[in-house]
Amino acid sequence: MALLEVRDLELAIAAGGRLLPVVRGISFAVEENETLGIVGESGCGKSLTALAIMGLLEDTAIRITGGSIRFEGRELLTMAPAERRSLMGNRMAIVFQEPMTSLNPVYRVGDQIVEVLRQHRQLSASEARERAVRLLQMVRVPEPEQRVDSYPHQLSGGQRQRVMIAMAIACDPRLLIADEPTTALDVTVQKEILELLQDLQKRMGSAIVLISHDLGVIAETCDRVAVMYRGTIVEEATGEELFANVAHPYTRGLLASIPSADRDVEWLEAIPGRVPAIDQEIPGCAFHPRCAFARDPCHSRDPEARSFAPGHLLRCHFPQEWRK
């Protein structure tokens, strides 16, 4: 049994009396000790998927219209709200992209970590503070005994992101979702944060879902990769298999837009056009208007998910056309 199992998850946005689908039946599973990367351009539904798993869509315009999310074998979508909340920040946690908006500017970072700890653990004030210092040390914030009393604005962007990670791992979560955890940071700091996540995973044995629009970031860090386009997973495989045997033209495009990627075949520098608006209906394969290889039946029939190679899932009528 996988730690997290998402089956046929469907999300829609309630707008003007209509429900516009944004996540269109995605399935994936993550095991302990495993890192799953979810990659795709802006607006394809990555963050909404993360928020659905975390139970953070209440009081938003987003509706869960189908599917199932099982965590440690239990269905989350029908779980009592109080029980669901007790998992969040405890058995499962999330790190967001923007540490400045997620950290409270008026509280010392140590107090914010202590608050998470005391929500889920019975610790005295001094025990919680001690653990906060230890957590800052774990995420490699320099001089943690001093920094624990800093306010967010006194820290660098990279240090704030480390504080966010410290808060997320405070209660040893089994599942950690990192939603674009490095996009706001410069390249060197990005690398350090990713190494930190990998290091923490080795120690904690937890499952990580790493979300990024950058396949380069995903490639370096993840065991398995799910490529999302317009609310569907169009390709999924282990990192090794995917990079050796990329099959979907969209994935190929993402790969070609990594500056350092090995480019044996160049049919595009990046993917032409943009992700269509969510209220736009596209018959057939949702990628066909941007695909250089689209032909009948791409315009009329949406490709089903099928096995392209062992452990390699694909939704495309004409895989690897650029090789021909």
Ligand X SMILES: Nc1ncnc2c1ncn2[C@@H]1O[C@H](COP(=O)(O)OP(=O)(O)OP(=O)(O)O)[C@@H](O)[C@H]1O
248 lies in the binding site for ligand X (CB under 6 A): no
- The residue (of 46 and 174) whose beta carbon lies closer to ligand X is 46
- The residue (of 213 and 224) whose beta carbon lies closer to ligand X is 213
From CA 270, how far away is CA 186, in angstroms rounded? 22
45 lies in the binding site for ligand X (CB under 6 A): yes
Taking CB within 5 to 8 Å according to partner kind, which of ligand X, Mg ion, none is near residue 313? none
What distance lies between CA 252 and its chain's CA centroid?
Answer: 20
60 lies in the binding site for ligand X (CB under 6 A): yes
- The residue (of 69 and 294) whose beta carbon lies closer to Mg ion is 69
Residues in contact with Mg ion, shown as a per-residue x/- string from 6 to 45 under the rule CB under 5 A? ----------------------------------------
- Nearest distance from residue 47's CB to Mg ion, in Å? 3
47 lies in the binding site for ligand X (CB under 6 A): yes
From CA 206, how far away is CA 91, in angstroms rounded? 10
Question: Could you tell me which stretch among 38-46, 150-158, 257-265, 305-313 binds ligand X (CB under 6 A)?
Answer: 38-46
CA distances from 46 to 49, 51, 100, 179, 322 (A): 5, 9, 21, 8, 27
Q: Which of 13, 171, 204, 261 binds ligand X (CB under 6 A)?
A: 13
- Residues in 266-285 at the binding interface with ligand X, rule: CB under 6 A: 278
State the amino acid at position 137 in one-letter form. Answer: Q
Residues whose CB is less than 8 angstroms from the CB of residue 73 and which lie 6 or more positions away in sequence, other chains included: 1
- The residue (of 102 and 150) whose beta carbon lies closer to ligand X is 102
Residues whose CB is less than 8 angstroms from the CB of residue 314 and which lie 6 or more positions away in sequence, other chains included: 234, 235, 247, 248, 305, 306, 307, 308
Cis peptide, bond prior to residue 297, ω within 30 of zero? yes
Q: Please name the helix (run of DSSP H) or strand (run of DSSP E) that holds residue 114, with its range, or none.
A: helix 109-120
48 lies in the binding site for ligand X (CB under 6 A): yes
Closest CA to 244 of 219, 212, 270: 219
Please, what sign has the CA dihedral across residues 78, 48, 209, 275? positive
- The residue (of 46 and 129) whose beta carbon lies closer to Mg ion is 46
From CA 318, how far away is CA 99, in angstroms rounded? 42
47 lies in the binding site for Mg ion (CB under 5 A): yes
Taking CB within 5 to 8 Å according to partner kind, which of Mg ion, ligand X, none is near residue 154? none
Taking CB within 5 to 8 Å according to partner kind, which of ligand X, Mg ion, none is near residue 44? ligand X
Which residues sit at the interface with Mg ion, rule CB under 5 A? Answer: 46-47
Give the footprint of ligand X on this chain (CB under 6 A).
Answer: 13, 22, 40, 42-48, 60-62, 213, 278
